Chains A and B, each alone.
Chain A
Amino acid sequence: MKLINIPFQYLSESQFARKRGLEVVEVIEIGKRIALSDENLEKYAWQLTQVIKQTQPTIIAIERKETSGLTTPWTNAEYLKLLETGKKVATGLGVKLTNGGIDGDELIVFFANFLKLSDREKYQNLIAKLDINRKLFLTNIKYSIKVKLIEQKLHEFLKIYKKVGIDFLNVNWNYANPEVLFEVLNFIKNLTGMEIISTEFIKPYDKDISKKLLETVNRLKLKCVIYYFGIESLLGEELVNKLGKFTKKAEQLKSFIWWHYNKKPRVSSIFTEKAENDENG
């Protein structure tokens, strides 16, 4: 098979990040559903090899469409083949393999079901911590079939991960409750014996909750977390006004850093101090 150069945008992003000392994580999307014949699996392995050799990631996740267990286009047998092939390639090239990312809400369902069967008090406590939508989904009879499907699908996925021996269990988390985060991921970690990472972790805007979530991530000793955040509120204002004072936008930046990284940035301006002193006489 002829060598195909990976498009520049992938290479440049990876190269730029690595040059700055960052380790690259890649989520692989296979795209269209393919028949997994031996020949196609061989081509798939070759494609993965080309991607890894050229972009040089530390971790690859296979595959993106797994994120909702109920909508993945692959059968369990097919996904097993894709992961096994990915594992073989990744191991050969010294790269860690993880799954595409289990949806955090589905993990909550999974954990709740476990508690429902084993510890009524803990189950009720968990339900009490959930928001109204999640409570309804777990307790209303009209969702019981979907709940069961989620539990079954995740059960099968976890078995596949264990069978393949992926390096990390990847979770996509999107629920701003530190206690639930800890309980669910701690449960999954103990249940599977796998290290957990997150290639997609949505952080809320609330400063206190964001801080607690970060503390919980530390407590869980997650190996890698990719935080996603929105910045639409930071709209086109200047950084410093004519008097040298920081504008609202600069203040937003400070809040932004604090919210998302639990780090208090030091943002100061001699220019600003001079202006303030002038104003104060």
Chain B
Amino acid sequence: MHSSVMLPIPVLTATPTAATENEFQFFPTATPDIEPTLVLTPTPTEVVAVPTQVLKPTFNTESPGTSDEKSSTLGEFIVTVTKGIGILGLLGSFGVIIFILNRRSHPVGLVIGTNGLTLDTKIEVAKALGIKYYRIRDINLSKIFKNEIN
């Protein structure tokens, strides 16, 4: 946890520098003479994009905000479970579906936020799993405060 007091920056460089609080160096400034020795075979024939381009997940990673409109799949499923419990509870003699998740709290706050889940479902799942943090849809200031800043 940071206070307003500036912490000294650890300098983990091969060549120590006289870094100040705001002007530190993480790396040595000298040109490295070490070249990678990795030999890759076979040579890919396709152009390899930078990591930020090629390593995207196969599913949609849009913000929770956009995804909230997409109620489906697991969300519907869990809603079905909930409804099912209620209906079967009423029927009584036919038995009850027990749907219990392990509720141990995670030592680290977990946040649920994904595509395909309704708001209710996301929060219900988060609670069921003992999640501490929840990320709401991203807040776009220019959309909320139209024409406030030019």
In the complex, chain A residues 127-171 whose Cβ is within 8 Å of any chain B Cβ: 127-128, 132-140, 143, 146, 151, 155, 158-159, 162-163, 165-167
User: Would you give the 0/1 interface string for B12-41, flagging 1 where the beta carbon is closer than 8 Å to chain A?
Assistant: 111000000111111110101010111010
B90 within 8 A of A: no
Total chain A interface residues with beta-carbon distance under 8 A? 124
User: Among the listed A108, A223, A268, which residue makes an inter-chain contact with B98, where contact means beta carbons less than 8 Å apart?
Assistant: A268
**A106 with B135, Cβ < 8 A, contacts A113-B27, A165-B4, A239-B81 known:** no
In the complex, chain A residues 190-246 whose Cβ is within 8 Å of any chain B Cβ: 190-195, 199-200, 202, 217-218, 221-232, 234-236, 238-240, 244
Complex Cα–Cα for A123 and B74 (A): 42
Q: Is the CB of A22 within 8 A of B34?
A: no
Complex Cα–Cα for A40 and B37 (A): 51
Complex Cα–Cα for A192 and B26 (A): 9
Complex Cα–Cα for A188 and B18 (A): 20
**A174 with B111, Cβ < 8 A, contacts A59-B133, A143-B50, A202-B61 known:** no
Q: Is the CB of B1 within 8 A of A167?
A: yes
| Distance between B38 CB and nearest chain A CB, rounded to angstroms | 5
A89 within 8 A of B: no
| Distance between A103 CB and nearest chain B CB, rounded to angstroms | 6
Q: Is the CB of B143 within 8 A of A31?
A: yes
In the complex, chain A residues 82-117 whose Cβ is within 8 Å of any chain B Cβ: 91, 103, 105-106, 108-110, 113-114, 116-117
| Distance between B105 CB and nearest chain A CB, rounded to angstroms | 11
Closest B residue by C-beta to A166: B2
Closest A residue by C-beta to B8: A193
Contacts of A281 in B (CB 8 A): none
**A117 with B135, Cβ < 8 A, contacts A23-B109, A226-B111, A271-B95 known:** no
Residues in chain B within 8 A of chain A (CB atoms): 1-10, 12-14, 21-28, 30, 32, 34, 36-38, 40, 44, 48-52, 54-61, 63, 65, 68, 72-74, 76-78, 80-81, 84, 88, 94-102, 104, 106-117, 119-120, 123, 126-127, 129, 131-145, 148-150
Q: A133-B51, A230-B59 are known; give 8 further A-B pairs, CB within 8 A.
A: A27-B63, A47-B148, A51-B144, A120-B34, A230-B115, A239-B81, A263-B101, A269-B97
